[in-house]
Amino acid sequence: MNIGEFNVRNGRLLGSIATRTIDLPRLGLRPVESDNDRAPIYEIVALNVGNRWVQLGALWEAVAKHTTGEVFYQGSIDDPSLPEPLPIALFGNDEDGYRVAWRRPQRRDDFGPAVRSARRDYAASEQGGFGDSTAGNDGALMNDQPVDDEVPF
């Protein structure tokens, strides 16, 4: 979904981003001068209420995975006034301008599917679980050992 654009005006990349709840009418892309390969290409800046330019985010160069090998910029806008960072990507070039695209991030399942093939029998295992219980059927402590409530630091 396109949510904004940037164009060269007076030698600077200026643009805007607007959604239902966000309106950033005057943004700039400030080139980052760095020899570090991991440095961003641009800082995203905006005018604050005091009419000063403040950084809201950064953009890094990326290459499309499909066969065209198109170069684009990706990053995010973040500010304490926003409920969460806004991930964006810019497609285009300096001559024709850039369009700002946004896509809802897809949730990753880091743990894999929650499918179990068989239920494990912990009682039959020699090293299963957390060991024997110290509570009886009524929930009371079964042995006469005092409970050590002291927590070492």
The yes-or-no verdict on residue 67 having pLDDT over 80 is no
Output the average pLDDT for the chain.
83
pLDDT of amino acid 52: 95
- Residue 43: pLDDT band (50, 70, 90) is very high
Distance, in Å, from the CA atom of 66 to the CA atom of 88, rounded to the nearest integer, reads 19
Instruction: Provide the percentage of residues in the chain whose pLDDT is more than 70.
Output: 75
Q: Of the ranges 54-63, 124-133, 135-144, which one carries the lowest mean pLDDT score?
A: 124-133
| Site of tokens 């990326």 | 62
Q: What SS3 state is found at 5?
A: strand
Annotated domain spans of the chain: 2-101
Q: What are phi and psi of 17, to 5 degrees?
A: -135, 135
pLDDT of amino acid 119: 56
- Residue 140: pLDDT band (50, 70, 90) is confident
Cα-Cα-Cα-Cα torsion 29, 35, 40, 44, nearest 10 degrees, comes to: -30
